[in-house]
């Protein structure tokens, strides 16, 4: 049976697993890690971090692998399809095996429930490296990027264009509200955010001074915004819907017209991979307002800070826990 140890472990299942103070502490640490790559070595030993992927990845895989090594640890990248997870071994059994060997479990998968099931039994921190519902590590990096380029997050307006029901939209709502931002989701009527997540974001925003809005008019959403953000129209796992998404999403393309409506000093974010000519034009993503390469680099700094924070606060050590 799971021991009492599991109750005190900190996980990062969704953006609001970090409250405003914790999120700010992680972002401050991310800035410190960016200045001094080896500022903290909580994984010295080396201790191992399992990086499991049920879906493809370039940035997440590389930034976590390099980041874990920077922290003094050993990254173990596992393509879930080549593990027993891919053959249907129960999630909880996998968690119980891993928690006795590794310092943390980082997992990219489909349903949020799968991630929650592992977190429920794991005695080491579980980190969401993207699910169908959230991409919280990406939004931590995005918030670090906003702070770098706009000085602060509080009171800044971020307008997101495209699929309002995908992982990025949901994470901007929760993570952005936690950071005191005004989040505008511009999406076609049929692709609105999950109602409960929107309500959660509004409850957080009421405490932080932020706000969360859903609009169908993309130019209205862009008006005066400090940050324009977008993501692929067809997320991983939704490939069968690609053709039917093109027409409704076309007006939400981040193009020169949206940029012209935004604040003159607006920055442009895209979590990548990008499809030029679909969700964003080449002129915008390759233009002067784009900070997407800083954003991609910040994945490493933000995730290192997150791991250091979770390990200090809740991780109990894979070997000597019992």
Residues near ligand NVA (CB under 6 A) are 130, 135, 166-168, 231-232, 235-236, 271
In the list ligand CP, ligand NVA, none, the entry touching 166 (Cβ below 5 to 8 angstroms by class) is ligand NVA
Residue 135 or 258: the one with the smaller Cβ distance to ligand CP is 135
By C-alpha distance, which of 209, 150, 205, 144 is closest to 173?
A: 205
Residues forming beta bridges with residue 161, ordered by sequence position: 186, 230
Neighbours of 242 (CB within 10 A): 12
Residue 2 or 272: the one with the smaller Cβ distance to ligand CP is 272
Q: How far is the CB of 60 from ligand NVA (least distance, A)?
A: 7
**Residue 108 is assigned to a ligand binding site:** yes
Give the three-state DSSP class for 24.
helix
User: Which residues neighbour 253 within 8 Å (Cβ) at sequence distance 6 or greater?
Assistant: 161, 278, 279, 280, 281
In the list ligand NVA, ligand CP, none, the entry touching 58 (Cβ below 5 to 8 angstroms by class) is ligand CP
**Residue 235 is assigned to a ligand binding site:** yes
Q: How far is the CB of 115 from ligand CP (least distance, A)?
A: 15
Q: How far is the CB of 59 from ligand CP (least distance, A)?
A: 4
Neighbours of 111 (CB within 10 A): 13
Point out the residues that are catalytic: 108, 135, 138, 231, 271, 299
Concatenated DSSP letters of 42-100: TTTTTPEEEEEESS--SHHHHHHHHHHHHTT-EEEEEEGGGSGGGGT--HHHHHHHHTT
Residue 64 or 309: the one with the smaller Cβ distance to ligand CP is 64
Neighbours of 143 (CB within 10 A): 27
In the list ligand CP, ligand NVA, none, the entry touching 48 (Cβ below 5 to 8 angstroms by class) is none
Residue 168 or 261: the one with the smaller Cβ distance to ligand CP is 168
Q: How far is the CB of 137 from ligand NVA (least distance, A)?
A: 10
Q: How far is the CB of 131 from ligand NVA (least distance, A)?
A: 9
| Residue 230 φ then ψ, to 5° | -150, 180
27 contacts 140 by C-beta, under 8 angstroms: yes
The residue with its CB nearest to ligand CP is 60
**Residue 299 is assigned to a ligand binding site:** yes
Question: Cα(301)–Cα(204) distance, rounded to whole angstroms?
Answer: 25
**Residue 135 is assigned to a ligand binding site:** yes
In the list ligand NVA, ligand CP, none, the entry touching 101 (Cβ below 5 to 8 angstroms by class) is none
Give the three-state DSSP class for 250.
helix
β pairing state of 227-230 and 157-161: parallel
The residue with its CB nearest to ligand NVA is 235
Q: Which residues bind ligand CP (CB under 6 A)?
A: 57-60, 130, 138, 271-272
**Residue 11 is assigned to a ligand binding site:** no
**Residue 58 is assigned to a ligand binding site:** yes
In the list ligand CP, ligand NVA, none, the entry touching 316 (Cβ below 5 to 8 angstroms by class) is none
Annotated binding site for L-ornithine: 167, 231, 235-236
């Amino acid at each position: 049976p799971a021991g009492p140890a599991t109750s005190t472990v900190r996980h990062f299942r969704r953006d609001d697993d970090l409250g405003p103070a914790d999120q700010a502490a992680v972002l401050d640490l991310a800035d410190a890690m960016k200045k001094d790559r080896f500022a903290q070595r909580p994984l010295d030993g080396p201790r191992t971090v399992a990086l499991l992927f049920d879906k493809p990845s370039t940035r997440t895989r590389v930034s976590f692998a390099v980041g874990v090594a920077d922290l003094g640890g050993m990254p173990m990248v596992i393509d879930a399809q080549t593990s027993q997870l891919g053959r249907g071994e129960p999630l909880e059994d996998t968690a119980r095996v891993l928690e006795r060997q590794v310092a943390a479990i980082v997992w990219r998968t489909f349903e949020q429930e799968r991630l929650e099931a592992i977190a429920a039994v794991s005695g080491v921190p579980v980190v969401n490296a993207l699910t169908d519902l959230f991409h919280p590590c990406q939004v931590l990096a995005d918030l670090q990027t906003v702070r770098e380029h706009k000085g602060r997050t509080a009171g800044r307006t971020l307008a997101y264009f495209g699929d309002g029901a995908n992982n990025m939209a949901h994470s901007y709502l929760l993570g952005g509200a936690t950071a005191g931002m005004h989040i505008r989701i511009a999406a076609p009527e049929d692709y609105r955010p999950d109602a409960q997540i929107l309500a959660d974001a509004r409850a957080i925003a009421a405490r932080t001074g932020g706000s969360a809005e859903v609009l169908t008019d993309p130019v209205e959403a862009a008006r005066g915004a400090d940050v324009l953000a977008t993501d692929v129209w067809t997320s991983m796992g939704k490939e069968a819907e690609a053709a039917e998404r093109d027409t409704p999403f076309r007006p939400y393309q981040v193009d020169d017209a949206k940029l012209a409506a935004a604040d003159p000093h607006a920055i442009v974010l895209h979590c990548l991979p990008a499809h030029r000519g679909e969700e964003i034009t080449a002129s915008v993503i390759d233009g002067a307002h784009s900070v997407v390469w800083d954003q991609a680099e910040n994945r490493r700094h933000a995730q290192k800070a997150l791991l250091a924070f979770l390990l200090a606060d809740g991780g109990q050590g894979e070997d000597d826990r019992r």
